[in-house]
């Protein structure tokens, strides 16, 4: 485990792909014991490419590190009974079924509460447990579309979606945060909670600024037309002569002035807040950066007090002095390397410890261990 803040907390992870497993990964990194319950043969992500020699997807391994995986058939009576034993001593259950699926399996809200009244049940779905879209299919790009994540992102001609999938990871963080709040409430009341988190709403929750601007008839964010999304010269991404990219975020007047002075363009200082979009000034700054290779600009601007940073490639990330100093990147696996980013927080001055690899175990072993613990408690 990475930290031990949730030592003693037990989590059942019934989810698949990225959002739910990422939420459970956060809880595992904070010290919880996470048992991932998968159907016979494993969840679909286990079999996606790239697959290692053991037949398991490398991407599956990095999103499920620190967990113990068991296979249970929740459609069979034996599987249901085993799962109920796990439920009885679980603190949190994360699942990502479509609404109604757990009911059809026999695990209604009433049954779950009867099994464990202290259970924090986190239901993570695309659109939420209610509303006309509750059963509609979707993926990250669709949730970003309805949640406002694409309306103002991209270039003037079209929206551009981001990597990694934003709604997937945003909803995982939202689910983990709400689960932790529900655990605190349970410690006071002795009652669990039913947490309904949607991927689309995890993105929608970030749109208050744009919605408020629009409601007041002001300039709501529009692609490449506002200060923070490509409309301003002082906050933009530029290509260098050798095909590299750099970012500048010189919103404060002093940083913009320092930048302009360093590149020999003092006349630009007074032009910082020309009307948006600043297409003429952006073109001039772009021409400047295009005249020299990336190494030239890095040598010149890293020593200047301004907001400048090259766009780093994946190979550059792990070896970068700042990232290396923070000790969050963990590489394991030898000939089949897994490069994982640990929980992004230091606690009491200490960085996160190493994350254990995903472990596969027999269901009987885990069920019996949890049963004995429940009896002891």
CATH number of domain containing 27: 3.40.50.10540
- In this structure, are 249 and 279 located in the same domain? yes
| 160, part of any domain | yes
- In this structure, are 89 and 186 located in the same domain? yes
Mark out the alpha helices in 36-76 (DSSP H runs): 58-63
| 70, part of any domain | yes
What count of residues does the chain have?
377
Q: Could you tell me what percent of the chain has a pLDDT over 90?
A: 95
User: Which of 266, 283, 310 is the last residue in one of the domains?
Assistant: 310
pLDDT higher than threshold 70 for residue 130:
yes
| 319, part of any domain | no
User: Which of 310, 341, 358 is the last residue in one of the domains?
Assistant: 310
pTM over 0.85: yes
Mark out the alpha helices in the chain (DSSP H runs): 19-29, 58-63, 77-88, 101-104, 109-115, 140-147, 166-189, 199-204, 208-215, 253-262, 279-290, 294-301, 314-319, 321-326, 363-376
- Answer for the pair 311, 244: CB distance below 8 angstroms, yes or no: yes
pLDDT higher than threshold 70 for residue 1:
no
Which pLDDT tens digit goes with each residue over 316-365? 998 999 999 999 999 999 999 999 999 999 999 999 999 999 999 999 99
| 365, part of any domain | yes
| 362, part of any domain | yes
- In this structure, are 162 and 259 located in the same domain? no
- In this structure, are 24 and 71 located in the same domain? yes
Average pLDDT of the residues in 278-302: 98
- In this structure, are 298 and 336 located in the same domain? no
CA atoms within 13 A on the CB side of 44: 4
Q: What is the mean pLDDT of the chain?
A: 96
Residue 268's CB: how many other CB atoms inside 10 A? Answer: 21
Average pLDDT of the residues in 158-165: 95
Identify the band that residue 300 occupies on the pLDDT scale cut at 50, 70 and 90.
very high
What pLDDT was estimated at residue 25?
98
- In this structure, are 171 and 295 located in the same domain? no
- How far, in Å, CA of 237 to CA of 235, rounded? 7
| 229, part of any domain | no
- In this structure, are 277 and 366 located in the same domain? no
For β-strands 33-38 and 10-13, DSSP reports them as: parallel
296 in active site: no
Which pLDDT tens digit goes with each residue over 65-99? 999 999 999 999 999 999 999 999 999 999 999 99
- In this structure, are 155 and 288 located in the same domain? no
What pLDDT was estimated at residue 375?
79
| 317, part of any domain | no
- In this structure, are 192 and 69 located in the same domain? yes
- In this structure, are 196 and 262 located in the same domain? no
DSSP letter for 285, please: H
Domain that holds residue 364: 10-206+329-376
168 in active site: yes
| 3, part of any domain | no
Count: domains in the chain: 2
What pLDDT was estimated at residue 218?
80
Helix (H) / strand (E) containing 341: strand 338-341
Residue 177's CB: how many other CB atoms inside 10 A? Answer: 13
Average pLDDT of the residues in 367-376: 86
- In this structure, are 300 and 335 located in the same domain? no
Write down the catalytic residue from 7, 47, 103, 139: 139
Average pLDDT of the residues in 124-133: 98
- In this structure, are 297 and 342 located in the same domain? no
């Amino acid at each position: 485990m990475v930290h031990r803040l949730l030592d003693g907390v037990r989590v059942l992870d019934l989810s698949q792909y990225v959002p739910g497993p990422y939420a459970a990964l956060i809880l595992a990194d904070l010290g919880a014991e996470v048992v991932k319950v998968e159907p016979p043969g494993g969840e679909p992500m286990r079999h996606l490419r790239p697959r290692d020699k053991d037949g398991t997807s490398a991407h599956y391994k990095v999103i499920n590190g620190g967990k113990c995986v068991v296979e249970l058939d929740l459609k069979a009576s034996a599987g249901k009974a085993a799962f109920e034993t796990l439920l009885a001593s679980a603190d949190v259950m994360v699942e990502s079924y479509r609404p109604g699926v757990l009911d059809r399996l026999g695990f209604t809200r009433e049954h779950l509460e009867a099994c464990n009244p202290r259970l924090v049940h986190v239901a993570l779905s695309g659109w939420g447990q209610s509303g006309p879209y509750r059963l509609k299919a979707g993926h990250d790009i669709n949730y970003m579309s309805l949640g406002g994540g694409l309306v103002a992102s991209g270039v003037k001609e079209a929206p551009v979606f981001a990597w990694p999938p934003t709604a997937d990871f945003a909803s995982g963080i939202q689910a983990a945060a709400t689960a932790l709040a529900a655990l605190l409430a349970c410690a006071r009341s002795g009652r669990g909670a039913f947490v309904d988190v949607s991927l689309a709403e995890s993105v929608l929750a970030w749109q208050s600024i744009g919605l408020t601007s629009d409601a007041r008839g002001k300039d709501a964010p529009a692609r490449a037309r506002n200060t923070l999304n490509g409309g301003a010269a002082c906050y933009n991404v530029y290509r260098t002569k050798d095909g590299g990219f750099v970012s500048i975020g010189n919103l404060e007047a002093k940083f913009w002035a320092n930048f302009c002075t360093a590149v020999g363009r003092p006349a630009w200082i007074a032009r910082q807040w020309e009307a948006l979009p600043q297409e003429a000034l952006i073109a001039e700054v772009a021409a400047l950066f295009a005249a020299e290779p990336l190494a030239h600009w890095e040598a010149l601007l890293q020593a200047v007090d301004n907001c400048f940073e090259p766009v780093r490639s994946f190979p550059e990330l792990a070896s970068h002095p700042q990232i290396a100093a923070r000790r969050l990147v963990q590489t394991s696996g030898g000939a089949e390397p897994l490069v994982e980013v640990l929980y992004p927080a230091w606690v009491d001055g200490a960085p996160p410890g190493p994350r254990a690899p995903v472990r596969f175990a027999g269901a009987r072993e885990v069920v019996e261990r949890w049963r004995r613990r429940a009896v002891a408690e």
